[in-house]
Each structure stands twice: as C-alpha cells, then as structure tokens.
C-alpha cells in the first residue's frame, strides 16, 4: 500500500490470530502488496461530503416554494353581443327557476338579459329574490273581483285581470311575499293580507321558503307562477366544482362565474303603497311618471275602458335562430326586403337612406332621408308616437342578417325602407304585418327570430349599454399547495440530512484527532474514507430518512409525470365551456436524465439498501447495483404507475381518493411488494450474477458469529477478499454503515490491528505474490 511516499506492508498481529478458530480464516491471512492511492480516496471522501452537505441547497435551487394564492380572476366587460358559454348559462337559468328542455348552447348577452329582465320565464324562484319591480300589477287582491264590479264611466281605466293572472301581478300577493306590516288601511284594502302574513311567518319558522309560499298561493287562487327573474337572479354567482376529491372534502376544481351590473332599484309601487298607508294618496299624484306602451292595452269599452293584453312569447325550446352576417350582408339586407315587398329582382345599385321599424302605425316620426342610412324605431307611448335611433346594431360587425328578423306576416307592425335608386329618385317600400320594432332590433343583435314581443323600454335599456361585466374566478384545487407542502417537507428533511452529516463529521474528526495508536493507523483511516457517507446517514437514521426520501421521491414523480388537474386554458374565453381535465405524462420521467439518476439512488435506498450490506463500499458493485435495482426498475415502474393513475380516473368510486394520496399509496404498495421474498429472491440472483462479472461477491458470515445477528447472513465484498467458507470478520467500513454499531467501530477493543513497517524497494517485487485486505477487520 502506498501511503504518502512510503510502501507499507500489512501483517496481522499474531497474538490475536492465535485465538481464531482455524475453520474461520480471516481474509488477510495471505499477504500481497497493497497499492492504494490514499490521496485520491481522501479526495473522493471530501468531495462526497461536500456533495451531500449541499443537498438542501440543491433541493432549494430546483424547486419553487411559498404558499401563494392559486386562484385566478378574470374580468370582461359585457357588450350586448358578448357570447356567454352554454354551461354557465344552463346553470344560471336553472338556478333562476327557468325550465330548460335541454342544456343551452352559447348565447349572446342580449338574449340572456331579455330572458331575465323582460320576459316572464322564472317559475316561483323569483319570489325569493330581494326585489320584484318588473311588470305591471294586474289586480289588487288575491281573490278575483266579481265580473260585475262597477267601473268608472267618465275616466280612463284598466280593468283588473280575472283569469290567467300572474301571481307577481297581484299587489296583495307581493305585499305578503315581502312581509309588509299590515296596517289598518292595508287590511281594509287587502282583506287576505293579514292571514297571508301569518301563514308566511309560520312557514318560515318551520324551515319553509318563500318559494313554497308562492307556490301555495298560486295553487289556491289559480294564479300563474311565472314572472320575470329579475336582476338579482341574473347577477347571482354560478359555481362549478369538478375533478376529484380534495382535502376539503369537495371536488378539487372550483370555478365561479358572476355577472356584475346595476343593482335593481327599489320597487316604487311598493314604496307608494307603504307610504300611502300613513299619508294622503293625493300627495303622490304626478310624482311617479310612467310611460305606458299602447301595445300593452286594448280598448274593451268605448270610450274609456281598456284591458291588459298578453304579449307574444315563445318558449325557450321553440326559439328559432337566424343566420349571422357581416357589414356587406347588412348593406344587402334592405335590398332583399325591397325586392320581396315589390316582388321584383334585387337591385344592387340601390342606396339606403333609412330603415324605419314602425310600431303602432307611427310612420310620421320616421326620419326618412335625414337618417343618413341608419335605422329608426318608432312606437307609441301613452298615445304619443316616439322615435329612437338605433345605436346598438348599427355599429356591430357581426350582426345577424336574415329576412327572418323582420318576421314578415307574423305581426301587426311595419317596416318602411327609404332608398335612392340609381337614377337618383328617392323611393319608399313598406312591408306590413312584420314583427314589433324592438323584436326586430333584438334579432339583429342577438340572433333570435322575433317570436316574442318586448315593451318599448327595452329600447331604452339597449341604448344605455349593458353597464355590466362578468367575472370568473377559478382555482385548480389544492394540488399545487399539496405539492408545495411536500416539497417543503423534503427541503426540511434534507436540512436535517445535512445536520446529521455535520454531526457525523464532527464526531469523526474527534475520533481521528486522538493520538492513540489504534486511531492513527492508515488502514483505519482508509476504512473511514472508503465507507459511503450517504449510506451511513441513511442507515443510522433510516426511519426519518425513509420519510424524507419518500416525500421527495413523491414530489419528483408528480412533477416529472406532470400529474395534475387544471381548468383548460379556454376558461378565459367566456364563450367556451369551462372544462376541468387531468393529465399524466407516463414517459415524463425520462425527460430529465440527471433527476432520474438522482432519484434512482433514492429508490434503491428506500427499497434495497438495508438488504444489501456492503454493496455501497465497492465502487463497481455500487454503480451496477444502482443501475439494476434503481434506474431500470424506476423507469419501468414510473411508467406503469402513471398508467394506473390514468386508469384510476375511468374507474367509478376512485374519485373519493385524492390524486396524490392514490399515488403515494400505490408507490408504498409497490415498494413493499418489491421487498417480499417472491420478487426479492430473483432480483438478488440477477444482481449476484451481474456483480460477479464486475468482481464483487457475496461473502457468507458464520452463523455463530455475533455479526450475523447485526449485519445478516452475508455481505458484499470485492473478489480479492472473498472466501468460500463463512467468516467471522467484517470490514470496518461495513461496520461504520451498520446502524447502532458505529460506536463499536470507534471504541471497541476487539479490532484486529495491523502492523506497519517500511518495506525496502528491493523487496517490493518479492512480495508481489502475496495477498492482504486493505481494510482493518473487526473481530467479535
């Protein structure tokens, strides 16, 4: 052995050898010149120590830490032509009590606003909303007044609705649903109000709801339970929860849509009724000016009697959609209408001056040639014709251009087209029996055929803009937080690992600093340097290091295989349904060769290290073992387990198990299975055959030896130190790696000391035929 500049021959102490049984020869009985590059070994030991001490910093460098908010919020201003996805709308409509025959497709916001704010489509759910202020009151009391009720003959009046009356159009019912305090005046006007309020109080006290009360009133008094859903239900949040079970006990993916806009104003009719109970009603004459659409009434008794008329309304299942167009198609639409009205071919050269949508026969307020090619809507309010210029559809590039939007032959309105022909003559074409003006405009913007009629105030609403925005907030569940937590545990664990190495080196330094002869022998120093420091720490702190190794291994496979569930990127597009999907890359672990090699060692340490004593001491055997029992099975098992994670998502019942918990249980079961004799025995046979090729053998230990109970029945040794018969000696480096036995290596007196003496250069050749072990050997 070369130690510094000296050649050292190793010989045993005869006094100790005389005490040995001849049936257990020591590996160093024959002598050979041991040539070792101790400086290189020392350098490797120091490099290994530094590499392992840097483990916490390496872990920190390759991983991002910090508990951050994983919720994403996106806001989009709504326009009338903004398309909202069908999944959101289906849930929104269902929550508002609007029945659906099938899930909705993507829809423009104008159609949604009309369904919620204009058309009575909600069944009873409207009763639980904070405010009811849409639609006229059709009669005062729940009980229908007698048909012979005396009506004024000198003033204009509207007769109360006796049949097919909506519950929300009954003043007494609304006062009851809102819980108004019944005063003497109110009780005189509304005879059933006190009874209804008592019924309401009892129902709510027993856990009932206003929806149940509304349903009971509608059934008892033969009233229609449909009404306008209202702003509160339109602005209600809609939440989707998809994916597998999270730590909270709910599905992991969370997405919430909500429309924000102008809050509904107070119901002025209720306010008037409330205050009128204590003040003179004359005070409120003229304070609240309402315009009345002439189309809402029909004359039933000349000259003053009128009755409410029911507007045409198509069910959602019967709604028909028209074709979408563009600006070029828009310029040709009036030409198609003129050709249809005149029953003549289309004249391409005609130029539009005005498209006037006429309601209630109000032709006189059309702008004609002064419209500059625009669209005008006319209708009659309180007997006066009013016109409004279209500022909604005229500036859109994706309007719906179809003759069906005019509803030819379906209504009582008209469309007047003023245009210039090629010869400069101003001409007019009028189409009668068309849909109402607002319905035609809604068709241009929303794409629904004019199968429903709308009040004129819809034009005011459209002209003001939506004044609304939609906000979607979504999170991918707690997977990122769990992975982050696992990584933090791994970081703390590797910090503990570094501390253990420091304590070991401190104790080693103290031991080597002693001046006794047994601690200054080069063989003992070589044994210390030859021992695998990472194996020493793992074996001495196996329980804690197995936990640290497993959580870091789990975090690596989650990241390498990209095992995660998330909302698709299309969730940012309001027109696209939100989808929550999970992905697994079965071959993702092959992308990073360095990380695969690193965690191949951890896999080997978790499964096989304690079963193969001494294999980490021999460099060649160490590399082969890590390859055969680390890298190869890890590559294959990572693929199989990733495929099982994919299969798990298709099996019913497994959604109750968290994604990462399932992965951890699967890896734990696989590692436990690999340690069973069924799989361990063939693996060891394969390993033994491979290690024999590289010069590493399995040395049997004498069953009567004390080391057999501590280390096991065998350990792995270089071929030069292998003996066919069982031995009672074990290398000191192996003893250092054995749990709870390192203090024996430092303090036990039963260590065979090796005598050192200088060998003259002329004798080095003569000793080339002898053999000796380079390490100190421990004797029980």
304-352 confidence digits (pLDDT tens): 788 888 889 999 999 999 988 877 788 889 999 999 999 999 998 899 9
**Residue 353: which of 366, 370, 340, 336 has the closest Cα?**
370
The predicted pLDDT at position 292 comes to 76
133 alpha-carbon distance from chain centroid: 38
247-261, 583-597, 734-748 — which is least confidently predicted? 734-748
pTM: 0.74
Q: Which stretches of 128-264 are assigned E, i.e. beta strand?
A: 157-159, 226-228, 238-245, 251-260
Band the pLDDT of 514: cuts 50, 70, 90.
low
Say whether both 235 and 251 belong to one domain.
yes
**How far, in Å, CA of 452 to CA of 295, rounded?**
13
Residue 270 confidence (pLDDT) above 60: no
Residue 418 confidence (pLDDT) above 80: yes
Band the pLDDT of 80: cuts 50, 70, 90.
very high
Say whether both 431 and 508 belong to one domain.
no
Residue 38 confidence (pLDDT) above 80: no
Contact 72, 511 (CB under 8 A): no
Share of the chain above pLDDT 70, in %: 81
Say whether both 128 and 217 belong to one domain.
yes
444 alpha-carbon distance from chain centroid: 37
**Residue 439: which of 424, 423, 455, 418 has the closest Cα?**
455
**How far, in Å, CA of 710 to CA of 52, rounded?**
27
Residue 267 confidence (pLDDT) above 80: no
244-253, 285-294, 518-527 — which is least confidently predicted? 285-294
Say whether both 338 and 304 belong to one domain.
no
Say whether both 373 and 285 belong to one domain.
no
Residue 646 confidence (pLDDT) above 60: yes
The predicted pLDDT at position 753 comes to 37
Say whether both 260 and 366 belong to one domain.
no
The predicted pLDDT at position 217 comes to 94
Q: Is residue 465 domain-resident?
A: no
State which of 399, 434, 450 marks the end of a domain: 450
Q: Is residue 113 domain-resident?
A: yes
More confident residue, 418 or 659: 418
Q: Is residue 596 domain-resident?
A: yes
The predicted pLDDT at position 287 comes to 35
What tens digit of pLDDT does each residue of 538-559 get? 888 888 999 999 998 998 898 8
Contact 700, 715 (CB under 8 A): no
Q: Compute the average pLDDT of residues 134-161.
A: 75
The predicted pLDDT at position 534 comes to 85
Instruction: Tell me which range, 168-177, 453-462, 631-640, is most confidently predicted by mean pLDDT.
Output: 631-640
Q: Compute the average pLDDT of residues 594-622.
A: 89
The predicted pLDDT at position 507 comes to 80
Q: Is residue 114 domain-resident?
A: yes
Give the pairing of strands 157-159 and 305-308. Answer: parallel
Say whether both 44 and 159 belong to one domain.
no
Q: Is residue 594 domain-resident?
A: yes
Residue 636 confidence (pLDDT) above 90: yes
Helices and strands: H and E segment counts in the chain: 27, 26
Say whether both 86 and 107 belong to one domain.
yes
Contact 165, 139 (CB under 8 A): yes
Sheet containing 238-245: order of strands: 71-77, 469-475, 251-260, 238-245
Band the pLDDT of 760: cuts 50, 70, 90.
very low
Say whether both 297 and 257 belong to one domain.
yes
Average pLDDT, the chain: 80
Say whether both 99 and 244 belong to one domain.
yes
Q: Compute the average pLDDT of residues 634-653.
A: 89
**How far, in Å, CA of 334 to CA of 430, rounded?**
11
Q: Is residue 464 domain-resident?
A: no
Say whether both 491 and 391 belong to one domain.
no
More confident residue, 359 or 755: 359
Residue 763 confidence (pLDDT) above 50: no
Q: Is residue 673 domain-resident?
A: yes
What tens digit of pLDDT does each residue of 427-444 get? 999 999 999 999 999 999
Q: Compute the average pLDDT of residues 104-126.
A: 94
Count of domains for the chain: 3
The H or E element containing residue 763 is: helix 761-764
Band the pLDDT of 276: cuts 50, 70, 90.
very low
Residue 21 confidence (pLDDT) above 60: no
Residue 702 confidence (pLDDT) above 70: yes
The predicted pLDDT at position 61 comes to 67
The H or E element containing residue 553 is: helix 542-560
Say whether both 55 and 99 belong to one domain.
no
**Residue 479: which of 555, 550, 577 has the closest Cα?**
555
Give the pairing of strands 469-475 and 251-260. Answer: antiparallel
Residue numbers of the domain that contains 188: 73-308
Contact 243, 582 (CB under 8 A): yes
State which of 255, 273, 308 marks the end of a domain: 308
Q: Is residue 737 domain-resident?
A: yes
**How far, in Å, CA of 240 to CA of 577, rounded?**
11
Residue 43 confidence (pLDDT) above 80: no
The predicted pLDDT at position 296 comes to 82
Band the pLDDT of 158: cuts 50, 70, 90.
confident
Instruction: Tell me which range, 80-89, 124-133, 504-513, is most confidently predicted by mean pLDDT.
Output: 80-89
């Amino acid at each position: 052995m070369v130690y510094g500049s000296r050649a050292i021959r190793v010989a045993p102490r005869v006094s100790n050898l005389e005490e040995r049984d001849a049936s257990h020869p020591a590996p160093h009985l024959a002598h050979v010149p041991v040539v070792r590059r101790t400086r290189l070994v020392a350098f490797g030991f120091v490099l290994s120590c530094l590499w392992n001490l840097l483990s916490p910093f390496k872990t920190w460098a390759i991983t991002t830490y910090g508990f951050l908010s994983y919720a994403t919020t996106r806001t989009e201003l709504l326009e009338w032509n903004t398309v909202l996805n069908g999944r959101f709308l289906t849930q929104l409509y269902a929550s508002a009590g609007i029945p659906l025959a099938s899930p909705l497709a993507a829809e423009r916001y104008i159609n949604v606003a009309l369904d919620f704010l204009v058309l009575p489509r909600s069944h009873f759910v409207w009763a639980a909303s904070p405010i009811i202020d849409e639609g006229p009151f059709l009669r005062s009391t729940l009980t229908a007044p007698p048909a012979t009720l005396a009506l004024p003959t000198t003033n204009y009046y509207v007769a109360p609705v006796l049949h097919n009356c909506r519950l929300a159009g009954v003043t007494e019912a609304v006062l009851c649903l809102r819980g108004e305090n019944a005063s003497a005046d109110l009780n005189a006007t509304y005879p059933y109000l006190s009874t209804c309020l008592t019924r309401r109080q009892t129902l709510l006290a027993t856990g009932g709801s206003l929806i149940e009360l509304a349903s009971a009133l509608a059934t008892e008094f033969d009233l229609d339970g449909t009404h306008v859903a209202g702003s509160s239900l339109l602005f209600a949040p809609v939440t989707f929860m998809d994916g597998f079970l999270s730590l909270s006990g709910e599905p992991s993916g969370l997405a919430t849509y909500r429309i924000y806009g102008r809050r509904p104003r107070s119901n002025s009719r209720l306010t008037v009724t409330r205050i009128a109970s204590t003040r003179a009603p004359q005070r409120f004459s003229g304070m609240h000016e309402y315009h009345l659409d002439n189309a809402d009434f029909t004359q039933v008794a000349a000259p003053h009697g009128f009755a409410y008329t029911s507007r045409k309304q198509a069910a959602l299942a019967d709604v028909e959609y028209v074709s979408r167009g563009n600006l070029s198609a828009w310029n040709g639409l009036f030409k198609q209408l003129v050709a249809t009205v005149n029953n003549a071919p289309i004249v391409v050269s005609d130029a539009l001056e005005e498209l006037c949508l006429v309601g209630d026969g109000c032709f006189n307020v059309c702008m004609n040639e002064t419209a500059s090619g625009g669209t005008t809507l006319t209708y009659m309010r309180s007997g006066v014709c009013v016109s409004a210029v279209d500022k909604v559809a005229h500036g859109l590039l994706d309007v719906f251009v179809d003759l069906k939007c005019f509803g030819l032959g379906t209504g009582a309105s008209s469309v007047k087209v003023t245009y210039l022909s090629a010869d400069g003559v101003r001409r007019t074409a009028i189409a009668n029996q068309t849909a109402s003006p607002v319905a035609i405009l809604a068709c241009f913007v929303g794409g629904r055929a004019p199968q429903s009629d709308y009040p004129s105030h819809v034009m005011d609403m459209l002209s003001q803009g939506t004044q609304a925005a939609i906000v979607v907030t979504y999170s991918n569940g707690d997977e990122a937080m769990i992975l982050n937590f696992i990584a933090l545990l791994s970081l703390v664990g590797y910090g503990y690992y570094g501390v253990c190495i420091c304590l070991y080196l401190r104790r080693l330094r103290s031991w080597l600093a002693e001046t006794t002869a047994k601690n200054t022998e080069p063989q003992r120093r070589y044994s210390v340097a030859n021992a695998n420091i990472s194996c020493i720490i793992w074996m001495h702190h196996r329980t804690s290091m197995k936990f640290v190794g497993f959580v870091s291994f789990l975090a690596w496979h989650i990241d390498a295989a990209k095992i995660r569930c998330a909302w698709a990127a299309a969730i940012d597009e309001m027109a696209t349904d939100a989808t929550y999907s999970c992905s697994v890359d079965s071959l993702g672990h092959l992308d990073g060769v360095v990380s695969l090699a690193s965690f191949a060692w951890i896999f080997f340490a978790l499964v096989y290290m304690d079963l193969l004593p001494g294999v980490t001491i021999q460099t060649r055997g160490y590399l082969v073992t890590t390859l055969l029992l680390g890298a190869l099975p890890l590559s294959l098992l990572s693929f199989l387990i990733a495929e099982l994670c994919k299969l798990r998502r298709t099996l019913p019942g497994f959604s109750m198990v968290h994604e990462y918990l399932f992965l951890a249980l699967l890896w734990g079961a696989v590692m436990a299975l690999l340690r069973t004799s069924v799989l361990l025995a063939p693996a060891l046979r394969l390993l033994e055959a491979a290690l024999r090729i590289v010069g590493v053998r399995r040395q049997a230990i004498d069953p009567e030896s004390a080391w057999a109970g501590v280390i096991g029945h065998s350990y792995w040794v270089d071929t030069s130190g292998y003996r066919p018969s069982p031995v009672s000696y074990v290398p000191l480096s192996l003893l250092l790696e054995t749990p709870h036995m390192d203090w024996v290596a430092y303090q036990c007196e039963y260590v065979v000391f090796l005598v050192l003496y200088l060998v003259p250069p002329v004798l080095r050749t003569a000793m080339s035929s002898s053999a000796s072990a380079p390490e100190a050997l421990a004797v029980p």
